[in-house]
Amino acid sequence: MTGERSRPPAVAVEIRGVNLSYGITRVLKDVHLDIRPGELFAFLGPSGCGKTTLLRLIAGFNVADSGEVLIDGRDIASLPPWKRDVGMVFQSYALWPHLTVRRNVAFGLEERRLPRAEIDRRVAAALDLVGLGHLAERRPSQLSGGQQQRVAVARTIAIEPKVLLLDEPLSNLDAKMRADVRRELRELQQRLGITSIFVTHDQEEANTISDRIAVINDGSVQQVGTPMELYQRPANLFVAGFLGTANIIDGRIVGSSPDRAFEIAPGIRLPIPAEAEAPPGAKLVFRPQAARIGAARPGQSSLPGTVLDREFLGPTVRYGVRVGDARLAVDVPFHAGEPLAEIGAETTVGLSPGTALWLTD
Amino acid sequence: MTLALGARRGAPATTRGQRALAVAIGLFLFAFLVLPTATVVFVAFTEKGTGQFTLVNFVDFFRTDLFVRSFWNSVYVSVMSVVWASALALPLAILTTRFAFRGAVLIQTLGFVPLVMPPFVGAVAMQLLFGRNGSVNLLLDDAFGFKIPFMEGLNGVIFVQSLHYFPFILVNLSASLRNIDRAMEEAAQNLGSSGFRLIRRIVVPLAMPGFVAGASLVFVKVFDDLATPLLLNVKEMLAPQAYLRVSSIGIADPMGYVISVVLIVVSVAAMWISALALKDRDYATVQRGGGGLARRSLTGWESALGYAVVIGILLLVLSPHIALFLLSIATIWSFSPLPDAYTLAHYNRVFAESSLYIKNTLVYASIAGLIDVVIGTAIAYLVLRTKLVGRQWLDWAAMAALAVPGVVLGIGYLRTFYGISLPDGTPLAALWITIVLALAIRRLPYALRACTAALQQISIALEEAAENLGATKARTVRRVVVPLMTGGLLAGFVTSFSTAAVELSATLMLVQSNSDAPLAYGLYVFMQSSNGRGPGAALGIIAVLLVTVCTLVSHWIVERRHEGAGNR
Amino acid sequence: MIKIFAAALALSLAISSVATAQTGKVTVVTSFAKDVTDPFKKAFEKAYPGATLEVQNRNTNAAVKFIEETKANNQIDLMWASAPDAFEVLKGKSLLQKYQPKAVGIPDKVGSYPINDPGGTYLGFAASGYGIMWNDRYMKANKIPEPAEWQDLAKAVYFDHVAIASPARSGTTHLTVETILQGEGWEKGWRTIKELAGNFRQITDRSFDVPEQVNSGQVGIGIVIDFFAFSAKASGFPVKFAYPSVTTVVPANIGIVANAPNKAGAEAFVEFLLSPVGQEVLLDPGIRRLPINPAVYAKAPADYPNPFKDPRFQKMITFSAETSESRTAVVDTLFDQLISFQLAALKDVTKTLHEVDAALAKKDNAQARTLAKEARDLVAAMPLTAQQASSKEITGAFTGAKEKGARQAELEQQWAAFAKERYTQAKTKASDALKLAR
C-alpha cells in the first residue's frame, strides 16, 4: 500500500453471459462485460436497472442462474463471498456499531489471521490513506457521513482486495462533498492501481472519474466505452438520452441510398449522409451544441422553426425551437454584446448532417 | 396549535403529551403495582412490637446463614440458567432467522412452547420423565444400571429452569436478528468472515439488545421463581424461602417480606446492569426501515446437521410437554417408563366441566397481553426517545413486578381494592377485571423488554424524517414507530399472553366465583385429587395448544411481513 | 307402610319449608378437591331446592388470607377445610361466628380428639386417620418390605424412601408431629421424629404432593391422611395403605365466617353436613372420609375403618389442644430449621449410622457402639425445652406480640446453627464409629 511495497498486479474481471431472475422478473439479461486490469469502471443506469444486482453478483451475494464471472481468468461462481477477495463498500457503509473505527478496519485482516503487528500496521496505513488516523478509537455513530464513508473505504482497502466494488459510494454525501470525495476516490484508486467497479445512477459522477462506463438499462448492457465515446457515439437512443442532453426527434426516412433523407415534418428534411447508418424506424439524434441558430453554414442544412424559449447557462444560451411538431434544444455560445434571438421569432436551425446520428432503441 | 408550539419551544426535550403519558403510566403502576405491594411488604420495615420503622430485619437477613446461603444459591442458579438457556436458544434463533430453513415458523413456535408450562401438572409430567424414577432413569437403570440426577439439587433446578425459560432468549434474540440490516452481515462476509466467526463477531454482537433483553428476563425470572425449586424440593433459594414464609399459616414473620424486598431490589439491579451494558452503544441497525438478514440456503449436509441440532433441542425442551400429553391420555402411569394404558376419558371430562375456564383464560390473557404491549411500548418510548426526568424509574418499577411474588400481589390487591365497593355493593376486587389487571402487571416485564429491544433497533432518523414531514410526536409513533416495531410488539404480546394463560398464584387469590375462574384455577382444582391428574393434564394440554396456535399465528404474521419487506 | 310414607312426607315438607326460608347462594371457601365438594354440592342442592352452593377452591393458606383481607366487605359464608390450625388462626382474629348445631347423635370425641372447637366457632364434620401409603411397584423394584409401624420407617431399609408434608404447611402433618411429641414427651418425641426424618426423601410443601409423589413412583412411601390413599387406590394407582397400630385422628372442619352475607344459608349447610344424609356423602368412594356420626357406619362397606370401634384409633394418647395451640409456630419452625432446611446433613449422619448398625450386627465393637450412641444423642439434642417452647418469650417472637422481644429470624438462626453444629459433630463420631466397626 505504501510506496516501498509492491502490490500484486491488477486483475481483469470478465462477465460472461450472466442471467438472473427473481421469480418471473428477469433482472439481468445475458450480460457480457470485460473489465480491464487497473481500470476504474462504472455501472451506470437508472434505479432498478440491475446494476447493483450485478455488483452484488461479483461480490457473491447474488447467484446467477447462468453464465460465469471470471476474476483474473478464474471462475469464481463456486466461491462464497468470503473467499472471493473482492472488497465492497456498501451504500449504507454498513459500519458495525459495536466496533470502534479501528476494530472495523482491522476486521478483515483479523479474519485473515494476520499477525497482530501486521494488522496494526495495515490498519494505521489504511486510516492514514483516508486521513482518519486520529479518529481510530471513535465509534461509527460518532462520525460524520463523509468520515463514515472513508472508514468504509479504509475497511475495504485494508484487506488489499483484488477488486474493489463501490455501491453508490457518493449517494449519502452532500453535493459539496461529493466533488471532493470523488476526486479522492479517483486518486486513491490510481495510487493503488486496483481494478475497481462502482455503481452509480449519476452520469456526471461516472463521466468524471471512470475510465470506462457500462450503461445498463432494464437488465441489459446498452453500451460500454469511455465517457467520450459514449457521449459522441451513443449506440442507441437510451444511451444518447441518458448521457448528457440530446435532441431525439421523431420522423421518417424517405428515399433510398444514397439519396436518403430524414423527414421531420412535411417539407422539412435533413439529408442522411451515405456513410451514416440509419436503420428503419430510427430517430434523429444530435447534441444541442451541434446545431446553431440563424442561417446555415456551408454543409449545413436549414430547418425552419420558431423560438419557444431560451435559458442562459453562462457560457452558452440554450434555445428551445419548434420545428414541425418537434422541440429542439440548441446551444449557442454566449458572447457579450451579441444580440439574442427573441422568443416567438421565426428562425432557422443550422445542422450538419455529419454530426447527427440515426438511432433506434 | 400555538399552545403546542409554545410548549415545544419552552421545553424542547419533552412535549406535553409525553409528560401526560408518563404521569398516566406512573399512576397506573402506582395504583396496581407499587401500592398493593407496599401494603404487604411494609411489614419488612417495621419493628416487631412497636411497628416503628427499622432496618433491623435486613440486618437479620444478612446474619442468617440460611438466607445468605439461599441468596448465593439463587445467584448461582440464575447465572447458570442464563448460560444454558443461551446455549439452547442461540442455535435455534440463528438457524431459523439466518438461513432459509423449512419450517422456521413451526420451530420458532415450538421453541416458544416450553414457556407455557401449566402449573402442578407440568411438575408431575417432569417428574414422570426426568425424576428419580422417571421414564429416562428407569430405562437407564434397566439398561446400564445407573441413574442421572436430572432433577436433584441446584443442578436440577438449573436444568429445569433452562428448559423452561430459554424461550425468553429465543424470542427476543430472534426479533433482534431479524432487525439487523443485511449489509452488516454482507460487509463481514465481503471481508472474509463466515460461519461461526461471522456469527460470533458480527451477528451476535449486533443482536445484543435482544439477547440482553432475553437474558436479563431469564436471570430475574429464575431468581424470582419459586415453583421449580419447590417442585425439586430445593428450599435453600431465596424465592422458595420467601414463599414458604409468606404462605405459612398464622405466622407474623416479617422475613418473608424482607426476602420479597431483597428479590425486588436484586431484580431491579439486574435490569439496571443490563441497561448499563447497552448504554452508549448505537444498535440502531435498521437504517432503511427494513431489510433484515439475508437468508442463506443450506447445502444438503449442512441442512441435515441443522435439522439434527434443531430436532435434538426441540425434543429436549419439549419433553415435558410430551410427557404431559402422555399423562393426559394415560389411565395409570406409575413407576414405569410409559403409562399402563391409554384413554380419551380425561378429555371428555375436561370438555364437560371446564370449557368455561378456557373461555375465561382466552379473554383475560388477551386483554392482559394488550395492556402490556400498549404500556410496554409507551414506557420504552419514554425511556429511549425522551429526556423526561425519572423516565428510567418507570422501566424499573415495571420490571420490579417480576420480583413481586404472585401471592404478595394477590394479597395486596385484596387489601387495596376490596374496600372499594361498586354501587351495588360488590367489592371492586371481586370483578374479573381485577384478575386481568393482576395478570397484566405480572406479565408487563416480558412485553416491556420486547418493546424496548424493538425500539432500540429503530434508527431515530426514521422518526425525525416523519417529524420533518410534519407529523407530530404522537402521530410519528403511531404511523412510523409502531409499524416498525410490529415484530417486537408481537413477541411481547405472545410472551405476555401465553404466560398469563397459565399464571396461577395471583389468580388463585383473586378468583371469586367459579364462573370467573381461569384455566389455572381449573388445573388447581383438578390437581387436588388423585383422579384429577389425568383431566388436569388434559386441561394443561389444551392450554398449551391454545397458546401454541396463537403463537403460530403471530409468528406467521411476522414472517409474512418480513418476507414482504425483505425481498428485493 | 303408610306410616313410613307419612313420615317421609312430613320430613320432606319439613326440609322444603326450611329450604324456602333459606334459598339463595351459599358461598363456601374450601381447600377440598372438586371430587369432595361436588357430591356435597349436588346433595345439598337436592335437599334444599333453590339453594346453590358456590364453591371457591383455594389452598388453606390462601383461604385464610382471603378471609382476613376481605373482612371489611365479607362475601364468604363458610370456611371448609381440614386443618384445625387454620381455623384457630381465623378464630384468633375473630373471623368466625359461633354456632350451636342442632344435629343429634354426634359424640364429643373421635379417638381422643375433640370433634368440635370447645369455643364453638368451628365444628368437625368428618375425621381422617393418618397412616402409611406406599407404591407397590416401587417397593417390589427396590425390594423393600411393607412397613407396618411408624418405628419401622426409621429402619435402614427405608433410607431415602419416605416423604412427608412439612408441618409448617400442612395442618394435618402438624397434628401428627404434635401427637408424637405429646405421646412420647418433648425430648423423646423429637428423637423419634428426627430418626424418622433421617430416612426422608422429601419434605413437600403441599399435603397433596406426598400422595402424588407416591402415585408417580418418585417416592416409595408417604406419610399421609387415609383418604388420599383411598382415592388414589380407587383411581387405580398401584398403591397400598396401612394404619399403624397407633394412629392419629384428624378432623375435618367447617366454620361460619363472621358477618356471613347469607347466615341462614350457612347454617343450613352446616346442618346438612351433620345430618345423616350429609354424613353418608362421606362414604362416597371419591371422598372416603370417616363420618363423625357413629350410626352412619351401618351403611358403610364392610372394610370401612370405624374410629369409634377400631382399637387402633382408641389407643391414641390424650391430646391436649391447649398445649398444641400454645406452641404451634415454635414446633413448625423447629421442624423446618432442624429438619427441613438441614435435611442433607441429617440424612448424611443417618446413613452413616445405618452403616454402623449393619457393621455392628456382623461384628460387635463396644467403642463403636458408644460413639454411635453419642452421635445419636447429638442428633436428638434440642435447642430448647418443652417449657421454653410454650413460654411467652419464645412464642412472642412468632405471633407478632406487642412487647419487644427476640425476633423470629434471630431464633431461627440460633436454632439452625445449633443443629448444624451438632449434626457435623455427630457425623464425625458416626464416621469414627464406622471405621472402628469395620
pLDDT of A278: 82
- Which of A150, A152, A147, A133 lies closest to A95, judged by CA? A152
Among residues B171, B184, B183, the alpha carbon closest in space to that of B210 is found at B171
Q: Do chains A and B touch (3 or more CB pairs under 8 A)?
A: yes
Q: Is the pLDDT of residue C140 over 70?
A: yes
Most confident segment among B112-126, B380-394, B544-558, C253-267 = C253-267
Instruction: Work out the pLDDT band at A1, boundaries 50, 70, 90.
Output: very low
Q: Tell me the per-residue pLDDT of A108-138, one tens digit each, with 9 for 90 and over.
A: 898 888 999 999 999 999 999 888 889 999 8
* Chain B, chain C: beta-carbon pairs less than 8 Å apart: 210
Q: Extract the C-alpha cell encoding B158.
A: 438449573
Among B240-244, B315-319, B486-490, C245-249, top mean pLDDT goes to: B315-319
Does residue C180 surpass a pLDDT of 60?
Answer: yes
Q: In what order do the strands lie in the sheet with A66-71?
A: A25-35, A13-22, A66-71, A74-75
Strands A283-286 vs A291-293: parallel, antiparallel or unpaired: unpaired
Portion of chain B with pLDDT greater than 90, in percent:
20
Residue B456 has what pLDDT?
A: 81
Q: B187–A94: do the CB atoms touch at under 8 Å?
A: yes
Contact C260, C76 (CB under 8 A): yes
Name the grid cell of C29: 371457601
The residue to which cell 370405624 is assigned = C306
What pLDDT does B251 receive? 56
Chains A and C make contact, 3+ CB pairs within 8 Å: no
Pairing of strands A40-44, A212-217: parallel
CA atoms within 13 A on the CB side of B145: 0
The DSSP bridge pattern shows strands A268-271 and A25-35 to be unpaired
- Angstrom distance (rounded) from CA B95 to CA B101: 7
Alpha helices per DSSP H over C225-342? 226-234, 263-274, 276-281, 311-314, 321-326, 328-338
Q: A94 and B284: CB-CB below 8 Å?
A: no
User: Residue holding cell 432503441?
Assistant: A361
Question: What pLDDT was estimated at residue B280?
Answer: 58
Distance CA B220, CA B448 (A): 14
- pLDDT of B291 reads 44
Single out the residue of B492, B384, B381, B364 nearest to residue B439, CA to CA.
B364
pLDDT score recorded for residue B315? 92
Above 70 in pLDDT, residue B40? yes
- DSSP string of A39-52, one letter each residue: -EEEEE--TTSSHH
- Rounded to an integer, the average pLDDT of B192-220 is 86
pLDDT at B295: 67
- Grid coordinates standing for A195? 481494478
Q: Does A139 touch chain B (CB under 8 A)?
A: yes
Q: Which of A92, A110, A199 to mutate to test the interface with B (most CBs of B within 10 A)?
A: A92
The 10s digit of each residue's pLDDT in C205-228 is 888 889 999 999 999 999 998 888
> How wide is the angle at C-alpha B171 spanned by C-alphas B165 and B174, nearest 5°?
135
Instruction: Please give, rounded to a whole number of angstroms, the shortest distance from the CA of C367 to a CA of chain B.
Output: 35
pLDDT at C12: 47
Report which residue type is found at B114. Answer: P
Q: Over 80: is that where the pLDDT of B89 sits?
A: yes
Chain B residues in contact with A159 by the CB 8 A cut-off are 191-192
pLDDT of residue C271: 93
**Taking residues C277-299, what's their average pLDDT?**
89
Per the listing, cell 452481515 goes with: B185
Name the minimum distance, in Å, from the CA of B509 to any CA of chain C.
6
3-state SS, residue A164? strand
Angle CA C263–C268–C271, to nearest 5: 125
**Residue ranges of the alpha helices (H) in chain A?**
51-59, 101-111, 116-129, 145-157, 175-192, 203-209, 227-232, 237-242
Bridging pattern class, strands C122-135 and C290-291? antiparallel
Partner residue opposite B183 with nearest CB, options A90, A139, A140: A90
Q: Which residues of C touch B407 (CB under 8 A)?
A: 62, 65
- A196-200, B456-460, C195-199, C360-364: which has the minimum mean pLDDT? B456-460
Q: Which of B302, B279, B241 is nearest to B73 (CA)?
A: B241
Q: How many CA atoms lie within 13 A of C357 on its CB side?
A: 13
Unique residue bearing C-alpha cell 466397626: C437
Q: Which helix (H) or strand (E) holds A14?
A: strand A13-22
Amino acid (one-letter) located at B564: G
Residue A239 CA to residue A229 CA, distance in Å, equals: 11
Cα(C144)–Cα(B568) distance, rounded to whole angstroms?
71
Return mean pLDDT, chain B.
82
For residue C88, list chain B residues with Cβ-Cβ distance below 8 A: 250
- For B204, name the nearest residue in chain A, comparing CA atoms only: A98
Residue A42, pLDDT score = 94
What are B283's three cell numbers?
444498535
Provide the pLDDT for residue C431. 94
CA–CA min distance B109, chain C (Å): 30
Q: Which domains does chain C have, with CATH numbers?
A: 2-128+250-314 (3.40.190.10), 130-248+321-437 (3.40.190.10)
| Strand spans (E) along B84-234 | none
* Whether the predicted pLDDT of A342 surpasses 50: yes
Instruction: Evaluate whether A13-242 and A247-359 have a shared fold.
Output: no
Give Cα separations from B52 to B56, C284, C397, C404 (angstroms): 11, 53, 16, 11
Put simply, the chain C residues between 141 and 200 with a CB less than 8 A from any chain B CB are 141, 166, 168-169, 171
Residue with cell 433510398: A256
Which residue is closest to B283 within chain A, CA to CA? A97
Asked if residue B340 lies in contact with residue B331, where contact means CB atoms within 8 angstroms, the answer is: yes
- Which positions 206-235 of B are in contact with A (Cβ < 8 Å)? 206, 208
Phi-psi region of A85 (alpha: psi -120 to 50; beta: other; left: phi over 0): left
Q: Which of A286, A282, A288 is nearest to A251 (CA)?
A: A282
Substitution target from A76, A96, A162, A165 for chain B, most B beta carbons within 10 A: A96
Per the CB < 8 A criterion, the answer to whether C166 and C203 are in contact is: yes
pLDDT, mean of residues A327-354:
86
pLDDT of residue C18: 44
Nearest residue to B512 via CA among C55, C256, C32, C80: C55
Architecture of domain A13-242: 3-Layer(aba) Sandwich (3.40)
Query: In whole angstroms, how far apart are CA A19 and each of A22, A36, B411?
Result: 11, 22, 70
* Window 75-134 of C, Cβ < 8 Å to B: 75, 83, 85-86, 88-89, 92
Q: Give the architecture (CATH level 2) of B12-46+54-280+297-334+345-566.
A: Orthogonal Bundle (1.10)
A330-358 average pLDDT score: 86
Question: Is pLDDT of B186 > 90?
Answer: no
Task: Name the nearest CA neighbour of C227 among C197, C255, C244, C249.
Answer: C249
Q: Return the domain boundaries, chain A.
A: 13-242, 247-359
Distance of residue C210 Cα from the nearest chain B Cα, in angstroms: 11
CB C211 within 8 A of CB C229: yes
Question: Pick the residue with more confidence: B237 or A178?
Answer: B237
Is the pLDDT at C402 greater than 80? The verdict is no
C374 has pLDDT over 90:
yes
List of residues 6+ apart from B359 with CB closer than 8 A: none
Q: Whose CA is closest to B208, among B111, B279, B287?
A: B279
Mean pLDDT for the stretch of residues B336-343: 91
User: Mutate which of B190, B199, B281, B285 to test chain A, going by most A C-beta atoms within 10 A?
Assistant: B190
Give me the helix-helix angle, B56-63 and B255-278, nearest 10°.
80
Q: Is the pLDDT higher at B175 or at C18? A: B175
Give A234-274 pLDDT, tens digit per residue. 999 999 988 888 899 888 888 877 788 888 888 888 888 88
pLDDT of residue B4: 37
Using CA atoms, how far apart are residues B401 and B440, in angstroms rounded to an integer? Answer: 10
Average pLDDT of every residue of chain C:
86
Looking at CA atoms only, how far is residue C61 from chain B in angstroms?
6
pLDDT-above-70 percentage for chain A: 98
Model pLDDT, residue C31: 87
**What is the pLDDT at residue B275?**
79
Query: B145 CB contacts (<8 Å, ≥6 apart)?
Result: none
Residue B535 CA to residue B175 CA, distance in Å, equals: 36
Total residue length of chain A: 361
Nearest-angstrom CA–CA distance, A296 and B302: 74
For the purposes of burial, counting CB atoms within 10 Å of the CB of A220, is it exposed (0-12), middle (13-18) or buried (19 or more)?
A: middle
Considering only the beta carbons, identify the residue of B65, B128, B415 that sits closest to C216: B128
Q: For the domain bounded by A247-359, which CATH number is listed?
A: 2.40.50.140
Spatial neighbors of C152 by CB under 8 A, at least 6 apart, are: C158
The cell numbers describing A55, all together, are 455488483
- Give the tens place of pLDDT for each residue, B46-77: 887 777 888 888 988 898 888 999 999 999 99
Please name the residues between 281 and 310 in chain B that touch chain A, using a CB distance below 8 Å: 281-285, 287-288, 294
- pLDDT top residue among C189 and A77: C189
Check whether C5 has a pLDDT greater than 80: no
Q: How far apart are CA B315 and CA B300, in angstroms?
A: 22
φ/ψ (deg, to 5) at C284: -50, 135
Sheet (strand A301-312) strand order: A291-293, A346-351, A301-312, A316-323, A326-333
Res. B285 pLDDT band, cuts 50 70 90 = low
Instruction: Give the phi and the psi of residue B361 in degrees, each rounded to 5.
Output: -60, -45
> Residue A160 pLDDT more than 70?
yes
The answer on pLDDT for B3 being more than 60 is no
Provide φ and ψ at A47, rounded to 5°: -65, 145
The pLDDT tens digits for C291-336 are 999 999 998 888 888 888 887 777 665 677 778 878 888 999 999 9
Instruction: Give residue B294's pLDDT.
Output: 56
Residue C20 has pLDDT above 80, yes or no: no
The answer to whether residue C1 scores a pLDDT higher than 60 is: no
Residue B411 DSSP class: H
